[in-house]
A and B are shown apart, each in its own frame.
Chain A
Amino acid sequence: MTSRRMSRWVIALLLISMPCAVAAYLKIGVQVGNAVITLKWKTLPVRYLVTNRAVAGVTAQQFQTATDAAFGSWNAVPTAQISSSFVGFTAIDPTTDSGQTVLGFESHPEDENVLGSTFWEFDTSGNPRAAHIYLNTIFQWSVASPGEPGKFDVQSIMTHEIGHLWGLSHSAIGETNQVSGGRSVVGKGAVMFPIAFPPTNGTPATTNNTIDRTLKPDDIAGISDIYATPAFLQQFGQVQGKVTLNGAGIFGAHVTAFNQRTGAIIGNFSLSNDGSFVIGGLDPGLYLVRAEPLDDADIDSFFDTPNNVNINFKATYYAKLVAVPAGGASAAIEIKVVAK
């Protein structure tokens, strides 16, 4: 049996507003029978083909170069064991189930707000055997180092999509504002945030959508959590606990851990009905831990079952700083929130 899943990145809308939320990375789960397993490539390097298709301003060769750099950002994470290899160009479309990993441009006018998508083919054990990424040709694209006005940056968007390829779902470390037709991104702290920065504008640019070529601590923690090196397991730690409302667990709460020493924000979600959460990939140290409702992005960007997610509570800090050891977990904490 081969199954497919898709993750999309919607276009950003231009607007400045007050920030209103943060959260963290989430891993993609694959349903195998009654169990859900983490999407993780068992065979490395991931060998990929590039569709031999150009768009205005970007040749297939340039797409491949930008894609190679995007893979390189992930491959360079020292605490994750991953690798990739470019095999060659192909006439196969990215969305064609071919048993091969194919990336490239493809037109999807029906997805007018989708910059790019990632799909997988799984074997019967739930392991990915191929992935497919397309960048939607209805948008303008660029591979210029500083970005180009009015165009989206191929390398930045591919860095996000390749994060999906490796098994990361969307992070909610970001702030958006609801506007007609969607959300505008005010700022974000993870490449894996579901909404892209708007195209670079002006000269000099007041926005620069090449920012997402560089991974953030939350991205690094996420990829390291899935493909951990032995050193990662020894040198980094976790915050663990649960989020409760009137004694009952909350599902889908965003919990973030803030390291005041480094400024890093890393987090996760409470992923069970008792409100339990674990935030991994933390530098040893003292952390400020905060729980908040997932109200800053569309819930279905994160969960397949959005109705189970409780967003009717107020953002709350845990009353104490939390000490995270190297190679272990903090004492279990309980963040008691109150209803809105």
Chain B
Amino acid sequence: MIRRGCGVSAVWAGAVLAVLVATSPAMAQTPAPSTPAKSPATAKRLEFDVGGMFLTPVGMGTQDMSITAANGQPVPFAKTSSRTGPSFGLEARMGFPITPRFAVEVAGSWSSVDFETEVSGDTEIPTGLTVSLGVSRLTAGGSATWRLRQKARNEIYAIGGASWLRDISELSASGVYDDGAIVDGGAGMKMLFKDAAQGKIKRVGLRFEGRVGVRIGGLTLDDKNTHISTAFLASLLIGS
């Protein structure tokens, strides 16, 4: 459902964020183990990531513009094929370690998504054309990561999470938007240049990640409420 104006909030997403924010400081303040950690990572507290995001195209089906003939059969006078094009965006995250392997993160992102419809076979317009609409997609959510493997300063991890999203269309001076959610999962790698036990900034590195997600709701050009999407991220990692 496309909405207009402000005032609609995703209660569940807010609740998730509130829980994460409320619980994480306490966890972060948990006394260190009596025995020294084997890795500085176990002593890390907060981790920040800021980076770029690439979203792969998502098909949104075909639909004929048609009327009905006297025999009840559709008479198409144009065909349409729709998708979202390849998109880029930014994402920021803050992670909180729960155990040496397990961490939770809160994240927010913005991406610019082009909704595209290719029109062909119009009986009055012989040349095909592509009609598009720019959409700003905002997300806010949380995720959990599980470190699968650590070798030297490289970590491989699995990630799963959920986000609330808002698609805000171009040509919407009055604020046309549609809300939805993304549930996703994937894997990534952290390449640390610095992984120290002391200092304000203990960890610095790069993070690469791939996720496959199910988008529920948001703007769409077909009759499906869910769409599978893939995202790739590369970000700068800084840990305190």
Contacts and interface: CB of A to CB of B under 8 A. Distances in A.
Contact of B171 (A198, A216, A331): A331
A288 B222 contact: no
Nearest to B82: A260
A116 to B, nearest CB: 18
Contacts of A315: 122, 124-125
Interface string B74-87: 11010010100000
A240 to B, nearest CB: 11
Contacts of B1: 284, 326
Contacts of A316: 125
Between A260, A316, A326, the greatest number of chain B beta carbons within 10 A of the residue's beta carbon is seen for A260
Interface string B136-180: 000000000000000000000000000000000111111010100
A207 B73 CA distance: 10
Interface stretch (A16-24, A58-66, A84-92, A124-132): A16-24
A18 B221 CA distance: 28
Contacts of B119: 288, 317
B174 A331 contact: yes
A249 interface: no
Given A317-B125, A320-B132, A286 B67 contact: no
Contacts of B80: 258, 260, 288
Of B61, B169, B222, chain A has the most CB atoms within 10 Å of the CB of: B169
A197 B67 CA distance: 13
B67 A175 contact: yes
Contacts of B77: 19-20, 22, 175
A205 B70 CA distance: 10
Interface string A157-192: 000000000000000011100000000011111000
Interface stretch (A30-38, A48-56, A261-269, A304-312): A261-269
A328 B176 CA distance: 9
B74 to A, nearest CB: 8
B176 A323 contact: yes
Most chain B CB inside 10 Å of its own CB: which residue of A185, A186, A211, A323: A323
A262 B2 contact: no
A185 B68 CA distance: 10
Interface in A316-335: 316-331, 333
B58 to A, nearest CB: 14
B70 A207 contact: yes
B223 A261 contact: yes
B131 A207 contact: no
A292 interface: yes
A262 B72 CA distance: 18
A314 interface: yes
A298 to B, nearest CB: 18
B190 to A, nearest CB: 39
B219 interface: yes
Given A188-B68, A284-B2, A317-B131, A323 B124 contact: no
A208 B133 contact: no
A188 to B, nearest CB: 5
A19 B123 contact: yes
Given A288-B119, A330-B171, A258 B65 contact: yes
B2 A261 contact: no
B63 interface: yes
A161 B174 CA distance: 39
A262 B171 contact: no
B133 A198 contact: no
A188 B74 CA distance: 9
A209 interface: yes
Contacts of B75: 19, 175, 186-187
A288 B174 contact: no
Contacts of A189: 66-68
A212 to B, nearest CB: 9
Contacts of B67: 19, 22, 173-175, 187-189, 265
A197 B3 CA distance: 39
Interface in B171-203: 171-174, 176, 178
A187 B69 contact: yes
B172 A323 contact: yes
A206 interface: yes
**Which of B70, B129, B178 has most chain A Cβ within 10 Å?**
B70
Shortest 8 CB-CB contacts between residues of A and residues of B: A325-B4, A187-B75, A284-B2, A323-B169, A321-B133, A207-B70, A189-B67, A315-B124
7 contacts: A197-B70, A261-B222, A286-B221, A323-B171, A325-B2, A325-B176, A331-B173
Interface of A: 12, 18-22, 173-175, 185-189, 197-198, 205-209, 211, 216, 237, 258, 260-263, 265, 284-286, 288, 292, 314-331, 333
Given A285-B219, A323-B172, 8 more contacts: A189-B68, A206-B71, A261-B221, A261-B223, A288-B131, A315-B122, A324-B2, A330-B176
